[in-house]
Chains A and B, each alone.
Chain A
Amino acid sequence: MIYIVLIPLLLACFIPFISKFKDKIHTGIFVFIIPFTIFLYFIRFIGNEFSPIHQTYKWIPSLDINFNFYLDGLSLLFVLLISGIGALVVLYSIYYLDNSERLGHFYVYLIMFMAAMLGVVLSDNIFVLYTFWELTSISSFLLIGYWHFNERSRYGAMKSMLITIFGGLSMFGGFILLSVITGTTSIQAMIAQADIILDSKYLPLILGFILLGAFTKSAQFPFHIWLPDAMEAPTPVSAYLHSATMVKAGLFLVARFSPIFSGYEWFFIIVSIAGIVTLCWGSYMAVRQTDLKAILAFSTISQLGMIMAMLGFGTKIAVFAAVFHILNHATFKGSLFMVAGIVDHETGTRDIRKLGGLLTFMPMTATLALFGTFSMAGVPLPFLNGFYSKELFFDSAIHLTEGISGTASFLIQVIPYLAVLGSIFTFVYSLYFFFGVFRGKTQLNQLPKKPHEAPFGMLISPIVLVLGVILIGLFPNLVNGTFIAHAAESVYGSEVVKELKFWHGIDSTAFQMSLVVVGIGTILVSTRKKWNGVYKLLPGKLSFNKAYDWLISMLDVYSNRITRSYMTGSIRFYFAAILATTLVVTFTFMFVTNGFTIQFNELAEVTIVEIAVVLLMIAAAIGTIFTKHNVAAILTVGVVGYGVAILFVIYRAPDLALTQLVIETVSVALFLLCFYHLPKLEKNDETLSTKTINIFISVGFGTLLTLIAIASHSTNSFNKISDYFIETSHSLGGGDNVVNVILVDMRGLDTLFEIAVLGIAALAIYSMINLRNNKEEK
């Protein structure tokens, strides 16, 4: 299975080369092969008999990060969605995107996304899963910003990335906690240790972090705001990433971890509330939108909320319905996005106020939209798959009593009513979408293009999806036993058997709820203009987008301010800051580790000569600060240098003394040569505070160094390696001067580099002087 994830990534590298020939043949035709092959590869796993497949490839074994691929019912469902819808979307994009677009970029991003998404649903290792998870965020960012010359695209891309990556990082935190507690990085191994996790005191943190990741990715309230802005992406992308696959990654994550958390009351409370609120808010807001894709975006939000709520319920029916609806939603919403793309493509606008009466112009598209919207609305007809999952949703909402008590019991009372409320608005926006576009008065003068039916190639993909809607609707048990039941089983933990049938009898509560939805929904649709004013009250001026924008602009302003406060452009300031930090850190470290020691025995005796030299040097060193004349300053530095040479003589280092004398003489000469060209030293005109800080830093550093020197001299943690040099100098190096032998034999390479450094310095000096000459000659 590793090849299934990695080969698309490899093949994606070749897409830019293929796209060179895009004028002759559309790049998408080649790309189509990739998802289609993967779909064919996985479709063979469908069947009544299915057992999970586990494969491991070592990646970073020392950190327990490996490609542990695990294909169970849930992964299989997602893999088929990703590759199947992926193939259809690529097919659709061949007609949607013109040759003049940057096709190479588009398909690279798309295939990169597909591979990442496959990685997310197949990984059993949480860190590998996280890596792929972020890769989907990045490819989503690139695809939303595909038309990067649009300001709105850039804004939407940025927003989606900031929100999803924020969630991703918090999820990563949850993962780390999980792996620390359980000592494993495999999800399946964690499920086996669910007791340990449930007993851990970090459980609320883990749950919160992971759910934050899932909610941001799946656009749950109040993180839903990125999804409408993501609609700036090309429509194939919206159909693929932002309705069928990527936004379902959050659902996948919740489903994957629900065997662990399902025993935890807060899991039920948080996930159910988030889901139900998202369902109601999304469907309520969808009716207000005028852009076709915005309606679909809010409808996706509400549908995701519905699935999330069902995963939160966690009962047998609910889990089954959730998994079933993941499939159903992908079919009808995918086709509706493609319909919206066709309408946009053929009329030049997506504004529902300008559209209308397109039924006569595009009968095929209208028929497809009819099936899609009615299925989404949950209209009780036996050939619409949306109705089945909607009814299962009601069914699960009224049968929540299984093992729930305490604070959660209030929720059980409210949830059925909220479910109906959300579904009423779902019904309203579905019909609003269909009737607004295809019925009503035609306003040809409002449309930028004369509308006509789409080319057949563009219709293939939505037709396939609508056929899926009808087939699942007519023969629900076709997909039930073969893979939906397997998927539900891997979420629920034990076998889920559910016979799907259309007619449950007139006295079934779920059916009555559906009738209420259709009844009230129809009234609301026909009187939509009359109650439209309600949006002035709610949300009114309340807007999560404004909160987001405010947060981002504040972040901008303050980070700018903070950075400016220390990036002053003054190197002296940087240097002082670095020194001060080093000072504080080293001092603290030495104090904490008790590093300062002092030892008075074994010291060399003190002689008058040495004291005199030392005093002279100290005086000269301090003198350099106060001299106001170039020559005087250079000479005082010279005094220090010669003083060092004298100390070398006293301390029995003849080679050092010689070198130091020569170098010091040359240096002083060099200084004197240069000083003629350098400006005169000026009086120190700094403010008292700067002076004090400088004095403080330098004296502090001097003290620190003295203490370290004493401490290092006073400790004998290790044996000296010098004895080795003294012993072997003659036998190995063939010389009696040990220092020389060390330099040219033992550490010969070091010396070679030293010479190289000198050579480079000489070249630099030469070129700097020469450059001037050339300039002056000119």
Chain B
Amino acid sequence: MEIIISILAGTLFATGIYNLLQKQLLRIIIGTVLLSHGAHLFILTMGKLKTGAPPILIEGVNEYTDPLPQALILTSIVISFGITSLLLVLAYRTVNENNTDNMEQLRGNEHE
């Protein structure tokens, strides 16, 4: 199963990066979202899947799933949420100011 999840994470990365390389801001934001999902799954597989009970201590249970990746992912989820919302508002402002969300039109001119 780990291999399948690895492939899933890779697919998420591939689609995320493809979206990042697009012209439109909305696509780029979607790309970052996919990228962070891929990263979370990537971290999760590193700690091996389903090796024991959820990491909540209960009397009589000895095998638990690795808690460290989960802690890392939890931090990451929150941070990527912050980034996504910031990017969305940034895109919204950019469109408001420049009347375009096309990266090619937003690029700087020659003599900057």
With most chain A CB atoms within 10 A of its CB, the pick from B82, B90, B101 is B82
Q: Once the chains bind, are A656 and B67 in contact (CB under 8 Å)? A: no
Q: Once the chains bind, are B64 and A738 in contact (CB under 8 Å)? A: yes
Verify if A587 is at the interface (C-beta below 8 Å from B): no
Q: Once the chains bind, are A730 and B22 in contact (CB under 8 Å)? A: no
Distance (Å) between the CB of A191 and the closest chain B CB? 55
Q: Which residue of B lies closest to A693 (CB)?
A: B21
Verify if A201 is at the interface (C-beta below 8 Å from B): no
Verify if A611 is at the interface (C-beta below 8 Å from B): yes
Distance (Å) between the CB of B34 and the closest chain A CB? 6
Write out the residue numbers on chain A whose beta carbons fall within 8 Å of the beta carbon of B57: 726, 729-730, 736-738
Write out the residue numbers on chain B whose beta carbons fall within 8 Å of the beta carbon of A737: 55-57
CA A654 to CA B73, docked complex, whole Å: 12
Q: Which residue of A lies closest to B83 (CB)?
A: A761
CA A603 to CA B49, docked complex, whole Å: 8
> How does the 8 Å CB contact mask read for A599-614 relative to B, with 1 for contact and 0 for none?
0001111110011001
CA A772 to CA B51, docked complex, whole Å: 52
Write out the residue numbers on chain B whose beta carbons fall within 8 Å of the beta carbon of A677: 92, 95-96
Q: Once the chains bind, are A656 and B11 in contact (CB under 8 Å)? A: no
Given contacts A569-B109, A674-B92, A737-B55, contact A624 B19 (CB under 8 A): yes
With most chain B CB atoms within 10 A of its CB, the pick from A637, A706, A761 is A706
Given contacts A655-B70, A678-B101, A697-B21, contact A705 B38 (CB under 8 A): yes
Q: Once the chains bind, are A705 and B42 in contact (CB under 8 Å)? A: yes
Given contacts A572-B103, A644-B37, A730-B57, contact A603 B20 (CB under 8 A): no
Which of the residues A604, A653, A706 comes within 8 Å of B1, measured between beta carbons? A604
Q: Which residue of A lies closest to B54 (CB)?
A: A652
Given contacts A579-B17, A641-B33, A697-B21, contact A647 B5 (CB under 8 A): yes
Distance (Å) between the CB of A267 and the closest chain B CB? 52
> How does the 8 Å CB contact mask read for A580-624 relative to B, with 1 for contact and 0 for none?
000000000000000000100011111100110010011001101
- Among residues 1 to 31 in chain B, which have CB atoms less than 8 Å away from a CB atom of chain A? 1-27, 30
Q: Once the chains bind, are B14 and A678 in contact (CB under 8 Å)? A: no
Given contacts A656-B77, A765-B86, contact A710 B11 (CB under 8 A): no
Q: Once the chains bind, are B20 and A575 in contact (CB under 8 Å)? A: yes
Q: Once the chains bind, are B103 and A671 in contact (CB under 8 Å)? A: no
Verify if A688 is at the interface (C-beta below 8 Å from B): no
Verify if A562 is at the interface (C-beta below 8 Å from B): no
CA A757 to CA B78, docked complex, whole Å: 10
Distance (Å) between the CB of B51 and the closest chain A CB? 8
> How does the 8 Å CB contact mask read for A752-778 relative to B, with 1 for contact and 0 for none?
001001100110110011011000000
Write out the residue numbers on chain A whose beta carbons fall within 8 Å of the beta carbon of B108: 569
Q: Once the chains bind, are B75 and A754 in contact (CB under 8 Å)? A: yes
Given contacts A651-B50, A682-B24, A738-B55, contact A663 B19 (CB under 8 A): no
Verify if A559 is at the interface (C-beta below 8 Å from B): no
Write out the residue numbers on chain A whose beta carbons fall within 8 Å of the beta carbon of B5: 614, 647, 709
B interface bracket (residues with beta carbon within 8 Å of A): 35 or more
Write out the residue numbers on chain B whose beta carbons fall within 8 Å of the beta carbon of A46: none
Distance (Å) between the CB of A383 and the closest chain B CB? 65
Q: Once the chains bind, are A742 and B17 in contact (CB under 8 Å)? A: no
Q: Once the chains bind, are A722 and B66 in contact (CB under 8 Å)? A: yes
Q: Once the chains bind, are B77 and A660 in contact (CB under 8 Å)? A: yes
Which of the residues A630, A678, A722 comes within 8 Å of B68, measured between beta carbons? A722
Write out the residue numbers on chain A whose beta carbons fall within 8 Å of the beta carbon of B4: 606, 610-611, 614
CA A681 to CA B67, docked complex, whole Å: 40
Write out the residue numbers on chain B whose beta carbons fall within 8 Å of the beta carbon of A765: 85-86, 89
Given contacts A624-B34, A656-B73, A667-B81, contact A678 B26 (CB under 8 A): yes
Verify if A533 is at the interface (C-beta below 8 Å from B): no
Write out the residue numbers on chain A whose beta carbons fall within 8 Å of the beta carbon of B53: 652
Verify if A695 is at the interface (C-beta below 8 Å from B): yes
Q: Once the chains bind, are A706 and B41 in contact (CB under 8 Å)? A: no
Which of the residues B54, B81, B93 comes within 8 Å of A654, measured between beta carbons? B54
Distance (Å) between the CB of A627 and the closest chain B CB? 9
CA A677 to CA B8, docked complex, whole Å: 32
Q: Once the chains bind, are A671 and B20 in contact (CB under 8 Å)? A: no
- Among residues 662 to 716 in chain A, which have CB atoms less than 8 Å away from a CB atom of chain B? 663, 666-667, 670-671, 674-675, 677-679, 681-682, 684, 686, 694-695, 697-699, 701-706, 709-710, 712-713
> Which of A72-80, A104-112, A305-313, A743-751 lies on the face that meets chain B?
A743-751
Which of the residues A630, A667, A699 comes within 8 Å of B14, measured between beta carbons? A699
Verify if A63 is at the interface (C-beta below 8 Å from B): no
Q: Once the chains bind, are A758 and B2 in contact (CB under 8 Å)? A: no
Write out the residue numbers on chain A whose beta carbons fall within 8 Å of the beta carbon of B70: 653, 655-656, 739
- Among residues 623 to 648 in chain A, which have CB atoms less than 8 Å away from a CB atom of chain B? 624-625, 630, 633-634, 637, 640-641, 644, 647-648
Distance (Å) between the CB of B44 and the closest chain A CB? 6
Q: Once the chains bind, are B20 and A670 in contact (CB under 8 Å)? A: no
Beyond A610-B1, A644-B41, 11 additional pairs, beta carbon < 8 A: A569-B107, A622-B15, A653-B44, A655-B74, A663-B81, A698-B13, A702-B11, A705-B38, A739-B74, A742-B67, A765-B89
Interchain residue pairs A-B with the least CB separation, the first 6: A702-B14, A706-B10, A709-B6, A698-B18, A742-B71, A761-B82
* 29 pairs, CB–CB < 8 Å, chain A vs chain B: A603-B1, A618-B11, A621-B11, A633-B26, A634-B30, A641-B33, A644-B40, A647-B44, A652-B50, A656-B40, A660-B77, A677-B92, A677-B96, A679-B24, A694-B18, A698-B21, A702-B14, A705-B9, A705-B13, A706-B7, A709-B5, A709-B42, A713-B46, A721-B68, A722-B66, A725-B67, A738-B57, A742-B68, A757-B82
* Interface residues in chain A, defined as those with a beta carbon under 8 Å from any beta carbon in chain B: 569-572, 575-576, 579, 598, 602-607, 610-611, 614, 617-618, 621-622, 624-625, 630, 633-634, 637, 640-641, 644, 647-648, 650-656, 659-660, 663, 666-667, 670-671, 674-675, 677-679, 681-682, 684, 686, 694-695, 697-699, 701-706, 709-710, 712-713, 720-722, 725-726, 729-730, 736-739, 742-743, 747, 750-751, 754, 757-758, 761-762, 764-765, 768-769, 771-772
